[in-house]
Amino acid sequence: MNLKEIKEIINLMNDNNLNEIEIEREGLKLKLKKSSEGGLVMGTPTHYAVESLPSPKAMPSTPPSTGSGEASKNSKDIKSPMVGTFYRSPSPEAESFVEIGQTVEIGQVVCIVEAMKLMNEIKSEVRGKITEVAVQNAEPVEFGQTLFVVDPVA
């Protein structure tokens, strides 16, 4: 569900004088509810609370792992510095920035996190071998979420 569809749903709510709507589609549950911060005043926008949660059917029982299981106890995580969408390559048809088993250098781009239509290159802060890719391509990520596990090398 994209922003345009959500705006259309908000317009539908306003046109039909609805205070709350809940939609479940393709494993995504969207709930819109008008704020209770007083009545509408001409020229004042109405505030909406938006919840977008995966439905229980769409949630995997265990997190996906694309790792080789070689992570050592001194491994380091490359974490997301922001909330956004994780991309392994610069474009859908391009090769991934890094693969499992590949050695990365400090400052090397390992992925992109898209936030508010801005593509942010994420660079490795450690030199080492990629042992796990902790997120699937095009998945949403949270601040501080592990993206890659790296086994440091000297």
Within-domain flag for 70: no
Within-domain flag for 60: no
Count Cβ atoms below 10 Å from residue 112 Cβ, excluding itself: 20
Per-residue pLDDT tens over the stretch 78-119 = 999 999 999 999 998 999 999 999 999 999 999 999 998 899
- Whether 36 and 96 share a structural domain: no
Alpha carbon distance 110, 97 (integer Å): 5
- Whether 146 and 93 share a structural domain: yes
- Whether 107 and 50 share a structural domain: no
Tell me what pLDDT residue 68 has. 46
Tell me what pLDDT residue 56 has. 43
**Least confidently predicted of 34-48, 98-112, 129-143:** 34-48
- Whether 141 and 91 share a structural domain: yes
Q: Is 70 left (phi over 0), alpha (psi -120 to 50) or beta?
A: alpha
Tell me what pLDDT residue 141 has. 94
Query: Looking at the 3D structure of the chain, how many domains does it have?
Result: 2
Alpha carbon distance 45, 51 (integer Å): 19
Give the domain extent around 14: 3-54
Within-domain flag for 117: yes
